[in-house]
Amino acid sequence: MTDRVDSIESMEQLAVVWRDMVLDRDLGADVRDLPGIAVRWADCRFLFWNCITLTEVGADAELVGQRLGQAADIMRSKQHPGFLWIFEDLLADDARAALSEAAERAGLEHAFPGTGMAGDLLPIPEPSHPDLTFVRATTDEQLRTYADLNSRAYGFPLEDGRDGLVGSTLWKNQVHAYLGLRDGVPVTCAATVEAAGRLFVVLVATAPEWERRGYGEAVTRKALYEGGRATGLTRATLHATVAGAPVYPRIGFNPNSPMHFYSLKN
């Protein structure tokens, strides 16, 4: 098991960042810190803004089973679907071993895996890529483009991503969100935002037809560079998908806790 301090940081960064994101989307969003459960649920069409995570450290199998049932009940009470995020290294050994069965009993199914990462890596050199120019996303049109790149990368309907970002005050003013353009066409995007003394990387995506060209790494470096320059922060955190996990260590991130995303069974 990796150092729980880093895994706790990863979970807490989720709770801090997602609180701001969902309240930006809807001031009436469900933002609650319950015993062992953090609810960050905008109840919008963008699944990533509908989030629950378990927050206890060292919870055993019995307690985790109870929390999964409670989380599933909260998810069932919502209009729109979302994800339960689990940071594996926060669980006791018996809870990790029994996680799949406990999720099944709660009516949850595994959606996809991830990895928490962090690093004391800032400042970094100003990035460049021979194919790309970078533009900060500060208008609704640019945020629509940013949302569409994420929707295409994750297989969401375009309107779902737009429901999460278009019209956002937070993303226009406080998030360092960048589009990477190839011959004037947006092909990749990444953003950073200040969160509890760290710079958090959020919603990195590349158009599927332009993957494996280093575009995601380049635009992530740009968002980190500009966010670090604006805030003076030196530590950064993120939650990586399987596709992104090999990329971020090249920038200076170190993996901490394996993550699991669960959704309600149909």
Domains defined for the chain, CATH in brackets: 4-115+259-264 (no CATH), 132-233 (3.40.630.30)
Q: Please state, in angstroms and rounded to a whole number, the distance separating the CA atoms of residues 134 and 115.
A: 27
Q: What is the pLDDT of residue 3?
A: 64
Tokens of 113: 């895996």
| pLDDT (0 to 100) of residue 20 | 97
Report pLDDT digits (tens) over 12-45.
999 999 999 999 999 999 999 999 999 999 999 9
pLDDT at 243: 86
Q: What is the pLDDT of residue 55?
A: 98
Alpha helices (H) along 93-139: 93-97, 99-106
pLDDT of residue 266: 85
Cβ atoms of 265 and 84 closer than 8 Å: no
Token pair for 159: 């309107």
Residue type, 34: L
CA distance 30 to 51: 10
Res 231: pLDDT: 97
Rg (CA), the chain: 18
What pLDDT is recorded for position 145?
98
pTM of the model: 0.94
Would you state the pLDDT for residue 1?
43
Q: What angle do CA 64, 49, 117 make, to 5 degrees?
A: 65
Which parts of the chain have pLDDT scores under 70?
Answer: 1-3
Query: Directed axis angle between helix 140-154 and helix 158-165, to 10°?
Result: 130
**Alpha helices of 77-195 — where are they, by DSSP H?**
93-97, 99-106, 140-154, 158-165, 169-173
CA–CA separation, 261 vs 27, rounded Å? 25
